[in-house]
Amino acid sequence: MKRLAIFALVSAWAQAASAEECSQNRPTDGATAYGGYVYEGAAKSWATPEGNARVWWVETGAHAAPTFSSRTDGVPDVVAIVGEVLEQAVAGYQKLGFEPALRDGDYPSCASNGGDGRYDVYLVAFKGADGVTANERCTTVGTAQRCPGFMLVDRNFKARGYDSQREGAETVVAHEYFHMVQNAYDVGMDRWWAEGTAQWAVKQLYPANGDLERFLPSFFAESGRPIDTPPAGVTSGFLYGAAIWPVFLHQHRGKETVTSVMAALGAGKGPVLAATDGVLVGAGTSLADEFAAFATWNAATGSRASSGGYADAAKYPMVNVEEFPDGETAELSGITAGFASRYYRLADPSPRTITLTTDDTRLGGVAVPLEDGKVALSKAVPLPASVQGEAIVVLAGRSSKKTDVRWALRASVPVVEPPPQATGGDDDGGCTFTERAPHGAAASAAFVGVALLSALVRRARAPRPSRRR
């Protein structure tokens, strides 16, 4: 594993901020240092020429950093790479439309701030983690709490299993700095959104970085869990795998959707799902409709990927799909809650009408055909729907309520209305016909009688960014 920190500690960005004016939490501060990471000996620092970052390290003691330098100025390579990546993150996230992280230049003289207003990052020897963001001197603005702070990152990423110091810095430093960006909006935002958007943000800066994809299996394996209810514990991969939600919002509604949700959180319109619904309603859709599209896109990944979903759908893991029984009177029932999803495969070659009985303010259903094993997203329709052959039925939550909602999925023989009889008169004696259910091969599914889900075919106006390979 390249990033043990994710499962050990990395979510420490959410550490409760100190209300004291004279914060003394840094490795240079001795026994009061955050997490017990105390520098021994004289600390050194390097200020980046761009003016935004200062990297700290020591050359003796438990936290001594590698001192090899290929540079003419003698700055250790591990130090310079961390500073370079931090500068790229500062510029890159602002270019995406996010507010910059809060600076610490206005601290009182009694507080430790690294001596200036640059973003400080300290190289330490982690035992299990590889990156942490610590908060200081938070202030309350409305209902939001905004905090400056500093970062701790591992002194030697290559020794932690990354292919190189640069790969580790791009994965960890850019991730931790995005937590500082989030803390400029509201340090209290939902952790699944905080970790998920940090993973998404790193991917925007470094498209070839594979850390986002590495955690997706943890999310896809628990699609039946409400998106805003991750498993207990700070080490849950579900938190980081939730990056697929901002990936969806970006690719389906435009990346400005993610920045707008962050701004709404900063304006006190949280929690995250409420803020997201407000942004989406303002754009002419809703969280309920977009989550249905999201759940359906998640059925079209891996070997089931076709066109119309995620740009990298074929590289993503697949959700678990259960079997729906054959037969004209087949039925399944269950209980769900919140914004969660379930998947069922149909394969009966005979035409059937599939109906969902539930509280439709809490849960909805979509049927989408499988054509040669691929999910045909453009042919998805809401339930009830007439289905023949292979298809997947997606059940998707429409409310964040966590009380149980019961559902029943039923099959029945489709009713085909006969064509109207000619009544005579001035119609030239011709006949009119109603559309009948098609009878195609069993390998594909036919859907009739219901309009297409507009959310599934809606696309962001901006073209998708190119992917570096």
Tens of pLDDT, residues 85-126:
999 999 999 999 999 999 999 999 888 899 999 999 999 999
Q: What pLDDT score does 23 carry?
A: 81
Decide: 144 and 185 in contact? Cβ < 8 Å. yes
β-bridge partners, 53: 119
β-bridge partners, 343: 394
Amino acid identity, residue 444? S
Amino acid identity, residue 364? G
Is the pLDDT score of 465 beyond 70?
Answer: no
Percentage, residues of the chain above pLDDT 90 = 77
Mean pLDDT for the chain? 87
pLDDT tens per residue across span 49-68? 999 999 999 999 999 999 99
Q: How far is CA 279 from the centre of its chain?
A: 17
Interatomic CA distance for residues 376 and 396, integer angstroms: 18
pLDDT tens per residue across span 347-393? 999 999 999 999 999 999 999 999 999 999 999 999 999 999 999 99
Among 374, 393, 371, 376, smallest CA distance to 322 is for 393
Is the pLDDT score of 202 beyond 50?
Answer: yes
pLDDT tens per residue across span 280-327? 999 999 999 999 999 999 999 999 999 999 999 999 999 999 999 998
Interatomic CA distance for residues 188 and 194, integer angstroms: 9
* Residue corresponding to tokens 């003796």: 60
pLDDT tens per residue across span 171-182? 999 999 999 999
Cα torsion 16, 51, 33, 184 to 10°: value is 0
Tell me 408's DSSP state.
Answer: E
> Domain residue spans in the chain?
5-284, 321-416+436-457
Domain 5-284, CATH: 1.10.390
Q: What pLDDT score does 463 carry?
A: 34
**At 127, is the pLDDT very low, low, confident or very high (cuts 50, 70, 90)?**
confident
Interatomic CA distance for residues 212 and 347, integer angstroms: 34
Answer yes or no: pTM beyond 0.75.
yes
Q: Does domain 321-416+436-457 have CATH number 2.90.10?
A: no
Decide: 450 and 385 in contact? Cβ < 8 Å. yes
Interatomic CA distance for residues 223 and 274, integer angstroms: 20
Of 23-27, 51-55, 200-204, 269-273, which range is least confident? 23-27
- What is the average per-residue pLDDT within 205-225? 97
- What is the average per-residue pLDDT within 267-271? 93
Q: What pLDDT score does 462 carry?
A: 37
